Structure 1
Amino acid sequence: MTTFNDREKGFESKFALDQDQEFRAMARRNKLLGLWAAEKMGLSADSSEEYAKAVVRADFEQPGEEDVFRKIAGDFKGSGLTVSEGEIRSKMDELASMARDQVRAGE
């Protein structure tokens, strides 16, 4: 029975680590997305950092990533920029992959 319990604890530890890494990767993705959007909107360096933090906070409004998408899309529209849904979602996917790689590499 000990071997089974050890395996179960190992799987639980791996699951917890994977969940933690995914959480950190999505927070990093959202920061990178905020910096990308801030650059497109022409914000200053200080404003860009604050905006990126606001995008990270937006992810806590609802489960999933739609709250982040709505914030970015709404802010683009409010700034008078026309950025397609496809471009935003594509950038979200690209940055998610980059963020996961960075988190796995310990950056």
Structure 2
Amino acid sequence: MSGFDDRQRGEEAKYAFDAEKQFKAEARRNKLLGIWAAELMSLPEDEARQYAAEVVAADFQEAGDEDVFRKVQADLKAKGLTVEDSVIRQKMVQLKQTANEQVAAEG
């Protein structure tokens, strides 16, 4: 019986570790997306960092990526920039891969 319990605890620990890595990667992706959008909006460095933090915080509004997408899309439009939705979504996919690689490299 203890072998089963040990295996179950190991699987639970792996699940928790994987979930934490995914959370970190999504937060990193959102930060990178915020920096990218801030550059498009020509925000100064301090404002760009603050904006990136706002993009990260936007992800807590609802499950999934749509809250982040809508924030960046609306902010770009508010600055008078025309960025296709597909470009934003493609950037999100690209930055997710970058964030996964960075989080994996950090251990």
The offset of 1:3, in angstroms, is: 1.1
Gaps (5+ residues) in structure 2?
none
| Identical pairs, percent | 51
Q: 2:95 corresponds to which residue?
A: 95
The separation in 1 between residues aligned to 2:12 and 2:94, in whole angstroms, is: 29
Q: 2:37 corresponds to which residue?
A: 37
Gaps (5+ residues) in structure 1?
none
CA deviation profile, 1:16-51 (whole Å, cap 9, x unmatched): 000000001100100000000000011100110010
Q: How many residues end up aligned between the 2 structures?
A: 107
The separation in 1 between residues aligned to 2:14 and 2:26, in whole angstroms, is: 18
Letter in 2 for 1:46: D
Q: What are the within-5 Å matches in structure 2 for residues 20-59 of structure 1? A: 20-59=20-59
Letter in 1 for 2:39: E
The separation in 1 between residues aligned to 2:20 and 2:104, in whole angstroms, is: 11
The separation in 1 between residues aligned to 2:14 and 2:97, in whole angstroms, is: 20
TM-score (norm 2): 0.97
